[in-house]
Amino acid sequence: MSAVLGAISGVASLTLITLIHLALTRSAESPGDQGWLPLAFAGACFFVLFTQVTSNVVLVRLSQATAARLRYELCSKIIVAPLPTLESVGQYRLLATLNNDVGSITAALASFPSVCANAMVLVCGLIYLATLSLPLAAGTILMAALGVAMFLGGLRIADKSLRQAREDQDEVVKQLRAMVHGIKELKGNTTRCLDFVYEVLLPADSRMRHSLIRGQSIQGFSHSWGRLFLFIGIGLLLFVWPRLATVSTATLTGYTLTILYLTYPLDGILGWLPAYHSASISINKIEALGLMIDQPERQSSAALPNRFRSIHLQDITYQHQSHGELNFELGPIDLQLKAGEVTFIAGGNGSGKTTLAKVLTGLYLPATGSITWDGREISDRNRNDFRQLFSTVFVEGHLFDRLLGIELQQDRLQHWTKLLGIEDKVDLETGRLHQHKLSRGQHKRLALLVAALDDRPIFVFDEWAAEQDPGFKQTFYHEIVPELKRCGKTVLAITHDDRFFDLADQVVKLVDGKLLETPSENTPANQDIRQLSLHTETSRRAA
């Protein structure tokens, strides 16, 4: 509708030029015979105003709706994309795409209706010029075509610089994010801070800036040069054409006025082409990130599972790869979890504990082996349903500022906030979480609160107690874990606290991605694991 209104407005504006031309020619031929022209001119002015205002209002609504829809679709693709794909893409690239590429595509789409309107005006204007003089119209089209061709050539030359600027922008966003997250480390070391600013951040920003300046300067020169061809055409029309053929003053006046008016819609179309070019770069960037081509994961059913009997991992392996090279391999793993049991996963840093937890919870797809859930093998058809069994608190987990997908129960909320000592961090009426000035331990306690209120059958804690003070560490092992077990929950905790191993039903230890031992009884087996763990660490240090 915006394009139609814009086209009508353009035609009405062209009507104004026609009326002005008619008034000039008639004033010379019959000065007194112009009674209807003022009324027609006033009516055309009012109609142009009405159509332009209406078209702009529609265009604003369209552009905002387009931006919202594009963000929603891109966010939907990110949400359903496999986790390893998103991790390989990187958060900074996703943020750059959501903030900048969406804006570029939206700007091009939002301006498209006005481009259609300008194209309509150009067509109507050329038709009007052809009615005045067909040879002059052909010459005008030729000059305009030469100008547009040169402008498009300039865009192609600028393409390399603009694409490089878009790649450099990812690096700038990456370093800005690093600055925000690492501000404590930068403030605590002046040399590191200066190196980061002058050796990392500013060079990355400088590369992006120079690429943008080079590309946009070429675009600006091409735009001006292409537009100049229209005035060159007017000069030829006024000074050369009368020497070659006979042409009336009225025809020259009509051509000059019309061409001057048509420079506006043509300028609008030429000005839109860089935006279209930027949008194509953004679309290619999105496709390169894999967000357009990844097969979405199957969504879960409406009825979420609330219980299970057992989960069995059989011959599970998983591989971390970077640039086609194998960095780390987990497995083969054989492990069984039973309802209502507590399992601890132990092991040194880099041994694969978190990777195993992500494979177990369905966030990572194993390379080989199978996972069965109450005798049913996990596949693409039921993997997302399987994930709904777990309430997770990972080390790198994010904490939202409100309880999402959780029905607020005041008694449960008060119980857990009191147990975790975070009454002042939660609005008991609304469930809002106050995240200002949180320590890492408080952050994890709030994350545990959310997991407890989510009330899934299986709880996964990734080194939850590692950043807690001794009092809350005791609370976790002697109060929280036993309470969850009494409620029939299954607990899987990644931990280094071997003095609490006797609280688990089974303890498994990972060394370099391999399962060292899976005892079924806690008391004697845990002693064996402690001795074996100590022996292994001593041998590795000696080596």
At residue 458's C-alpha, the angle toward residues 454 and 464, to 5°, is 80
Q: Which of 220-224, 429-433, 511-515 has the highest mean pLDDT?
A: 511-515
Listed in order, strand segments (DSSP E) in 262-324 are: 310-322
Higher-pLDDT residue of 344, 521: 344
Query: What are the residues facing 342 on neighbouring strands?
Result: 491
Q: Can you give the pLDDT at residue 529?
A: 44
Query: What average pLDDT score do residues 120-148 get?
Result: 80
Q: Comparing C-alpha atoms, which of 491, 166, 144, 538 is closest to residue 338?
A: 491
Residue 60 backbone zone (phi > 0: left; psi -120 to 50: alpha; other: beta): alpha
Report the alpha-carbon distance of residue 433 to residue 413 in Å, rounded.
Answer: 12
Residue 312 scores a pLDDT above 90: yes
Q: Can you give the pLDDT at residue 224?
A: 80
Q: Which of 97-111, 224-238, 374-388, 422-436 has the highest mean pLDDT?
A: 374-388
Q: Can you give the pLDDT at residue 342?
A: 94
Those residues with Cβ within 8 angstroms of residue 434's Cβ, 6 or more apart along the chain or in another chain:
424, 425, 426, 427
Q: Can you give the pLDDT at residue 524?
A: 43
Report the alpha-carbon distance of residue 504 to residue 452 in Å, rounded.
Answer: 19
Report the alpha-carbon distance of residue 183 to residue 200 in Å, rounded.
Answer: 15
Q: Which of 8-12, 25-29, 282-286 has the highest mean pLDDT?
A: 282-286
Query: What average pLDDT score do residues 359-387 get?
Result: 90
**Amino acid symbol at 272:** W
Element (H, E) at 268: helix 249-288
Query: What are the residues facing 311 on neighbouring strands?
Result: 337, 373
Task: For residue 533, give Cα distances in angstroms to 183, 506, 508, 528.
Answer: 37, 15, 11, 8
Q: How confident is the model at residue 295 (pLDDT cuts 50, 70, 90)?
A: low
Q: Can you give the pLDDT at residue 137?
A: 79
Report the alpha-carbon distance of residue 40 to residue 43 in Å, rounded.
Answer: 5
Q: Can you give the pLDDT at residue 521?
A: 44
Residue 13 scores a pLDDT above 70: no
Task: For residue 416, give Cα distances in angstroms to 406, 461, 476, 483.
Answer: 14, 16, 12, 11
Q: Can you give the pLDDT at residue 459?
A: 94
Q: Can you give the pLDDT at residue 373?
A: 92
Report the alpha-carbon distance of residue 317 to residue 352 in Å, rounded.
Answer: 11
Q: For each of the domains in the chain, give its residue range(s) and CATH number, in order of start.
A: 2-288 (1.20.1560.10), 310-542 (3.40.50.300)
Report the alpha-carbon distance of residue 80 to residue 72 in Å, rounded.
Answer: 12
Those residues with Cβ within 8 angstroms of residue 274's Cβ, 6 or more apart along the chain or in another chain:
155, 216, 219, 223
Residue 516 scores a pLDDT above 80: no
Report the alpha-carbon distance of residue 24 to residue 32 in Å, rounded.
Answer: 12
| 101 contacts 282 by C-beta, under 8 angstroms | yes
Residue 315 backbone zone (phi > 0: left; psi -120 to 50: alpha; other: beta): left
pLDDT tens-digit profile of 222-241? Answer: 878 777 776 777 777 777 77
pLDDT cut 70: percent of the chain above it = 84
Residue 117 scores a pLDDT above 50: yes
| 317 contacts 368 by C-beta, under 8 angstroms | yes
At residue 351's C-alpha, the angle toward residues 350 and 353, to 5°, is 100
Report the alpha-carbon distance of residue 187 to residue 190 in Å, rounded.
Answer: 7
Report the alpha-carbon distance of residue 45 to residue 358 in Å, rounded.
Answer: 67
**Amino acid symbol at 270:** L
How far the first Cα of the chain sits from its last, in Å, is 76
Q: Secondary structure of 345-409 in the HEC alphabet?
A: EEECCCCCHHHHHHHHCCCCCCCEEEEEECCEECCCCCHHHHHCCEEEECCCCCCCCCCCCCCCC
| 516 contacts 510 by C-beta, under 8 angstroms | yes
Q: What is the mean pLDDT of the chain?
A: 79
Q: Comparing C-alpha atoms, which of 498, 521, 499 is closest to residue 509?
A: 498
Q: Can you give the pLDDT at residue 528?
A: 47
Q: Can you give the pLDDT at residue 346?
A: 92
Q: Can you give the pLDDT at residue 493?
A: 93
Q: Secondary structure of 73-96 in the HEC alphabet?
A: HHHHHHHHCCHHHHHHHCHHHHHH
Higher-pLDDT residue of 515, 359: 359
Q: Can you give the pLDDT at residue 254?
A: 76
pLDDT tens-digit profile of 437-485? Answer: 778 888 889 989 989 988 889 999 998 888 888 888 899 999 999 999 9
Lowest mean pLDDT among 15-24, 231-240, 299-308, 335-344: 299-308
Q: Tell me the Cα Rg of the chain.
A: 35
